[in-house]
Amino acid sequence: MADAKVLIIGGGVAGCSALYHLALRGWTDALLLEMDELTSGSTWHAAGNIPTFSSSRNIIKLQHYSTELYTKLANDPNYPINYHQTGSIRLAQNTSRWQEFQHVHDMANAMGLGYELLSPDQMQERLPFLETHGLVGGLWDPHDGDIDPSQLTQALASAARHMGSTIKRFSRVTKIEADGNGWKVTTPEQAYTCEYLINAAGYRAGEVSELLGQYLPVVSMQHQYLVTESIPELEQHGSLIPLVRDPDDSYYLRQEKTGLILGPYEKQATPNWADGKLPENFAYQLYEDDLERLEWYIEQACERMPILGSVGVQRVINGPIPYTPDGIPNVGPAYGLKNVFHCNSFSFGICQGGGAGKTVAEWVVDGRPEWDMWSMDARRYGHYADQDYVVDRAKELYGREYAIFFPHEEWPGGRPRLTSPLYETLKAKSALFGARGGYERAMYFAIDSDNLGAEHSYGHGPWHDGAKRESLHVAEHAGVLDLCGFAKFELKGAGAKDWLDQQIAGRVPSANRLSLSYFCYTTGGIAAEMTITCINDEHYVLIGGAPARVHDLDWLEKALPENGTLTVTDITDTKSTLVVAGPKSRAVLQPISDASLSNDDFKWLTMQQINVAGHPVMALRVNYIGELGWELHVSNEATLAVYNALFESASSAGIDFRDFGQYAMDSMRLEKGYRAMQAELDHETSPIMAGLDRFVALNKPNDFPGKDSILNDHQNGTALKYVQMQLAETEFDAIYGCTIHNNEIAVGYTTSGGFGFRVGKSLALGYINADLATPGTKLKIGVLGNMVDAEVVEEPLFDSNNEKLRA
């Protein structure tokens, strides 16, 4: 028997929260090992701010959960914690920021959080020391405040111990080995066996992953805050003042006793130990102060709150704060390792620690968390995410810590990383790229009249004109999209068909056919979406979205039978995908193909191995844009030749054949109502809720994960239901997370939005109360502060009978 069922490495807020939440679930056979004292990593010196604000619905949920948990703990006399819920004001200095606030305000309030939008006068009423020059308004988060991070961690640890869990301090993990079905974890004093392992080693999570033979992209950044001497005005003020964040000037400012804490995120970010090699004995330590780096921010903050400048600085804290390439922590399973989970790399671990502990405990106990936490899944990165990449990305992110994520802004940090064989060719044709799964994919092709210098905003930038040009062109003529990074796996072996049948909710396609397939959790929620193409009963090609590549591979590999009869091979980096589509695509492709592409000979949703310009190609008659077309899967070596041959063929036939980019595809998929993973589809969504009934075979004789739950949804319906909606004329399209209202009551949320150029309408996809999910229902969608009229449409809005696809 193992020494502990679960072993947690790291006694900061994250590890202790994981231990506490496992204990709450009755899993007290758990051991936490800490190399030094509890809290001796990043936790002890954190400023302890606890916001709920986020641009992600589920991160708001997670952070809100933390505030509720901390309130409960702080009210328990057994665990004294200084926790002040002062509320906070975020300041908006410009229109885009104000739009962001209005969006998050709606999103948070649909979840019952009670955010408020404040005018400059209202801000001053709540915080008389605040100067409001140049402010458009502010956002009030009533849950925000600050907590003593050490007391919080000790409270979680004590409560877990009280329930029966064990903590060993001064036990540094130096070796991890597989041990039968579990793990053997060695410290200088002792070795322990366990079934489950949680890496909660904070900024040392990379070191612990290395002990497991894996690289984890995480780097420590220096983050400083200063604490002032006591301020007379605050001494006399009756209560604690609200916390202030100025995202445009990039700092937070809050009361600490009778002084203030000022914490800027400076543009010139400073990574520490950028080579990934950390000093062995750095615990309970800080870096040297460097206030010069903060001068500009201090000046801005003093103008905003003059009492800040009225006293001297009492102390400066400069400590390591972990950053991943997207600034979001890792919480969830580790790729390729049985029962190993991440709960680490938090840049905001104090406010996220409570919810993250709950989440990782659920991963361990239930096999998935209550909320879809894809954004924190460490499998969101691929092999491209190496040390240089994480350092570049972390510098960019830290320097833009509070930046708005505009839907069409492609951040340049750490790029280019992976490129397709067409990269230079497309670049020379003025492609503007964005990274998808690490690959540089053309987003659109600029022309001289595009206003490329325009600042990013929520409105229609030059990308909009590009997407319009390209979608309308493909709809009328034909074009090609280099869909590089599209994840591709080969499944081979005796019994492949039966195995797949037990994995997916739908039917396994027969030879030379393909089908969109869903892999579900036992709850019926969707874990992965892949297009499965049958070569023969012992050979299938599975194709999925680029960002989910490692996740999907892990899902498949962990589900494979242990007897080794089946293999899964990732062939993503060896093959390109060219989407050739549009009404004239057949006329372009036929002259250079050795097979008949007529509708009779090459039907929709079938596959043929053909030669194009003399090169072997797996051609699938399918696409994500809803036009006649083929996906050509071709070896990297032959990609350029096939691409060039397409243009030559089009030119000979007098067809205006052009490149198109991802943004055009995004627009066209909205018109077709094609759902996307991590937008419309996630593990809180069953195929029935998502309106994908036609991809589920409830009457097939065998079981598959989630069958009972999906059957239940099928028979009894779901509370929310997927809908496609069209919006009245609007300056701004809907984005992810807009609240949908019916008679002023929130009844749902959008998962995607954008303009459909073929239908000439602004569109949104999302979920609403099932009783409203019928075509013709009139709704209102809160788009960045504007209530826009919307209507549920009969889906798909574009080419409802798929006549173009079948043409």
Find, among 450, 426, 454, the residue nearest to 440 by Cα.
Answer: 426
Q: Is the Cβ of residue 314 or residue 510 nearer to ligand FAD in the bound state?
A: 314
Stretch that binds ligand FAD, among 43-51, 535-543, 681-689, 774-782 (CB under 6 A): 43-51
Strands 30-33 and 166-168 come out as: parallel
Q: Which of 2, 6, 7, 13 binds ligand FAD (CB under 6 A)?
A: 13
Task: Please report, as residue ranges, which positions from 315 to 344 form the binding site for ligand FAD (by CB under 6 A).
Answer: 317, 319-321, 344
First-to-last alpha carbon distance for the chain, in angstroms, is 63
Question: How many positions of this chain bind ligand FAD (CB under 6 A)?
Answer: 42
Q: For 75, phi and psi rounded to 5 degrees?
A: -85, -5
629 contacts 664 by C-beta, under 8 angstroms: no
Q: Is the Cβ of residue 292 or residue 448 nearer to ligand FAD in the bound state?
A: 292
Strands 607-612 and 219-228 come out as: unpaired
Record the tokens describing residue 605, joined without a space: 């949703």
Structure-derived torsion over alpha carbons of residues 105, 354, 217, 264, reported in degrees to the nearest 10: 60
Find, among 473, 476, 380, 395, the residue nearest to 435 by Cα.
Answer: 380
Distance CA 144, CA 242 (A): 8
Asked if 519 is part of the footprint of ligand FAD (rule: CB under 6 A), the reply reads no
Q: Is the Cβ of residue 283 or residue 697 nearer to ligand FAD in the bound state?
A: 283
Beta strands in 121-237 (DSSP E): 137-141, 146-147, 166-168, 175-179, 182-186, 191-199, 219-228
Q: Which of 4, 21, 41, 105 binds ligand FAD (CB under 6 A)?
A: 41
Q: Is the Cβ of residue 253 or residue 788 nearer to ligand FAD in the bound state?
A: 253
Establish how many alpha carbons lie within 13 A of residue 777's alpha carbon, considering only the half-sphere containing its beta carbon. 20
Radius of gyration of the chain (CA): 27
Min separation Cβ 221 and ligand FAD, Å: 8
Distance CA 324, CA 349 (A): 13
Asked if 363 is part of the footprint of ligand FAD (rule: CB under 6 A), the reply reads no
Cα angle vertex 86, ends 80, 89, to 5°?
150
Find, among 386, 232, 395, the residue nearest to 306 by Cα.
Answer: 232
Asked if 49 is part of the footprint of ligand FAD (rule: CB under 6 A), the reply reads yes
Asked if 223 is part of the footprint of ligand FAD (rule: CB under 6 A), the reply reads yes
Asked if 261 is part of the footprint of ligand FAD (rule: CB under 6 A), the reply reads no
Asked if 350 is part of the footprint of ligand FAD (rule: CB under 6 A), the reply reads yes
Q: Which of 4, 48, 617, 798 binds ligand FAD (CB under 6 A)?
A: 48
Q: Is the Cβ of residue 265 or residue 624 nearer to ligand FAD in the bound state?
A: 265
Min separation Cβ 238 and ligand FAD, Å: 25
Asked if 35 is part of the footprint of ligand FAD (rule: CB under 6 A), the reply reads yes
Write down the residue that tokens 């597989």 correspond to: 178
Q: The dihedral of CA 658, 514, 568, 618: what is its sign? A: negative
Q: Is the Cβ of residue 182 or residue 319 nearer to ligand FAD in the bound state?
A: 319
Min separation Cβ 173 and ligand FAD, Å: 4
Find, among 676, 658, 733, 728, the residue nearest to 472 by Cα.
Answer: 658
Min separation Cβ 566 and ligand FAD, Å: 36
Asked if 167 is part of the footprint of ligand FAD (rule: CB under 6 A), the reply reads no
Asked if 173 is part of the footprint of ligand FAD (rule: CB under 6 A), the reply reads yes
Q: Is the Cβ of residue 169 or residue 700 nearer to ligand FAD in the bound state?
A: 169
Write down the residue that tokens 């491209």 correspond to: 384
Q: Which of 7, 8, 21, 45 binds ligand FAD (CB under 6 A)?
A: 45
Asked if 36 is part of the footprint of ligand FAD (rule: CB under 6 A), the reply reads yes
Asked if 251 is part of the footprint of ligand FAD (rule: CB under 6 A), the reply reads no
Asked if 225 is part of the footprint of ligand FAD (rule: CB under 6 A), the reply reads yes
Min separation Cβ 31 and ligand FAD, Å: 11
Task: For residue 508, give the amino acid letter.
Answer: V
Asked if 47 is part of the footprint of ligand FAD (rule: CB under 6 A), the reply reads yes
Asked if 10 is part of the footprint of ligand FAD (rule: CB under 6 A), the reply reads yes
Min separation Cβ 734 and ligand FAD, Å: 30
Cα angle vertex 797, ends 106, 746, to 5°?
20
Asked if 156 is part of the footprint of ligand FAD (rule: CB under 6 A), the reply reads no
Give Cα separations from 609 to 511, 536, 577, 590 (angstroms).
Answer: 12, 12, 14, 14
Find, among 242, 103, 5, 266, the residue nearest to 736 by Cα.
Answer: 103
Min separation Cβ 161 and ligand FAD, Å: 17
Asked if 394 is part of the footprint of ligand FAD (rule: CB under 6 A), the reply reads no
Asked if 762 is part of the footprint of ligand FAD (rule: CB under 6 A), the reply reads no
What is the tally of helices (H) and strands (E) in the chain?
18, 38
Min separation Cβ 127 and ligand FAD, Å: 19
Write down the residue that tokens 């780097």 correspond to: 219
Asked if 266 is part of the footprint of ligand FAD (rule: CB under 6 A), the reply reads no
Where along the sequence are the contacts to ligand FAD (CB under 6 A)? 9-15, 33-36, 40-43, 45-49, 172-173, 200-204, 208, 223, 225, 283, 317, 319-321, 344, 346-351
